[in-house]
């Protein structure tokens, strides 16, 4: 198959336990195999230096909104993206706070394509969690993260790599969930994100 395909995307915590994962390949037929893979992958990459300090913030309309210029990935970010070969797969990964992001591809896959997927996922999560990217926030907004995973890759084929578009799609999904008063600030922020999305689509 010459279409670039992703085998799995993993989001693990600082001990290697799952936060959110999605597998797109039959190589890991049952849950115990998957967990074993995650554990050994985590131990192997733990010692490396793939850590980013924080996200890039921008001021928009008086509010500080996490915003990432489409297509431009900061050099900082790319410098901390690490890569490894593991069990005849290629894994690219990034760490922030206590979360670990992994994307796996086949041995002969173009590594840079994997990096764009990783970067898209990473930045989209950053947008959705409004900058506080740690395990607690991720678990509280697990639905957003799962939607995010769904919008990036469909059955192994890359759907979208632009973080803003991904976040926008996720936002318009969850906008219909009944929004109690306490969450209004979130919906405001997401509404702004949608605005940006609409603008970028019309470009």
Partner 1 sequence: MVYVIIKELSPSADEVIIVTSSLMKDMTSKTDMYRANAIRVLCQITDGTLLTQIERYLKQAIVDKNPVVASAALVSGIHLLQTNPEIVKRWSNEVQEAVQSRAALVQFHALALLHQIRQNDRLAVNKLVSSLTRGSVRSPLAQCLLIRYTSQVIRESASNTQTGDRPFYDFLEGCLRHKAEMVIFEAARAITELNGVTSRELTPAITVLQLFLSSTKPVLRFAAIRTLNKVAMTHPIAVTNCNIDMESLISDQNRSIATLAITTLLKTGNESSVDRLMKQITTFMSDIADEFKIVVIEAIRSLCLKFPLKHRSLMNFLSNILREEGGFEYKKAIVDSIVILIRDIPEAKESGLLHLCEFIEDCEFTYLSTQILHFLGIEGPKTSDPSKYIRYIYNRVHLENATVRAGAVSTLAKFGALVDSLKPRIFVLLRRCLFDTDDEVRDRATLYLNTLGADGAVEDMKEFLFGSLDIPLVNLERSLKNYEPSEESFDINSVPKEVKIQPLAEKKAPGKKPTGLGGPPPGPPSTIDAYEKLLSSIPEFANFGKLFKSSAPVELTEAETEYAVNVVKHIFDGHVVFQYNCTNTIPEQLLENVTVIVDASDAEEFAEVASKPLRSLPYDSPGQTFVAFEKPEGVPAVGKFSNMLRFIVKEVDPSTGEADDDGVEDEYQLEELEVVAADYMLKVGVSNFRNAWESMGPDCERVDEYDLGPRENLAEAVNAVINLLGMQPCEGTEVVPSNSRSHTCLLSGLYIGNVKVLVRLQFGIDGPKDVAMKLAVRSEDEAVSDAIHEIVASG
Q: Which residue matches tokens 């996922």?
A: 121
Structure tokens given for 32: 């115990």
Q: Which stretch binds partner 1 (CB under 8 A): 2-10, 97-105, 122-130, 178-186?
A: 2-10
**Alpha-helical regions (H) of 52-162:** 75-79, 111-128, 135-140, 142-152
CB of 35 to partner 1, least distance (A): 18
Task: With beta carbons less than 8 A apart as the criterion, state whether 30 and 52 touch.
Answer: no
Q: Which residue matches tokens 């173009």?
A: 110
CB of 60 to partner 1, least distance (A): 23
Told to check if 8 binds partner 1 by CB under 8 A, we report no
Instruction: Show the binding pattern over residues 43-82: x = contacts partner 1 (CB under 8 A), - = does not.
Output: -----xx-------------------------x--xx-xx
The correct pick among 102, 161, 193, 196 for binding partner 1 (CB under 8 A) is: 161
* Residue 144 buriedness (CB in 10 A; 0-12 / 13-18 / 19+): buried
CB of 50 to partner 1, least distance (A): 9
Element (H, E) at 199: helix 184-202
Q: Which residues bind partner 1 (CB under 8 A)?
A: 2-4, 25-27, 48-49, 75, 78-79, 81-85, 88, 92, 110-113, 115-116, 143, 146-147, 150, 154-155, 157-161, 169, 172-174, 177, 201
């Amino acid at each position: 198959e010459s279409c670039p395909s992703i085998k799995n995307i993993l989001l693990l915590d600082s001990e290697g336990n799952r936060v959110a994962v999605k597998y797109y390949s039959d190589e890991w037929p049952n849950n115990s195999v998957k967990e074993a893979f995650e554990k050994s992958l985590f131990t192997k990459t733990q010692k490396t230096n793939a850590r980013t300090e924080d996200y890039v913030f921008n001021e928009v309309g008086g509010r500080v909104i996490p915003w990432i210029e489409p297509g431009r990935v900061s050099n900082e970010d790319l410098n901390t993206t690490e890569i490894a070969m593991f069990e005849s797969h290629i894994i690219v990964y990034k760490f922030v706070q206590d979360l670990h992001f992994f994307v796996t591809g086949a041995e002969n896959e173009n590594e840079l394509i994997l990096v764009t997927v990783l970067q898209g996922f990473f930045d989209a999560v950053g947008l959705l969690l409004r900058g506080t990217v740690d395990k607690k926030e991720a678990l509280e907004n697990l639905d957003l993260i799962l939607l995010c995973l769904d919008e990036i890759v469909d059955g192994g084929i890359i759907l979208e790599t632009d973080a803003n578009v991904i976040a926008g799609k996720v936002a318009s999904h969850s906008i219909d969930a009944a929004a109690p008063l306490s969450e209004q600030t979130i919906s405001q922020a997401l509404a702004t994100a949608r605005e940006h999305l609409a603008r970028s689509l019309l470009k």
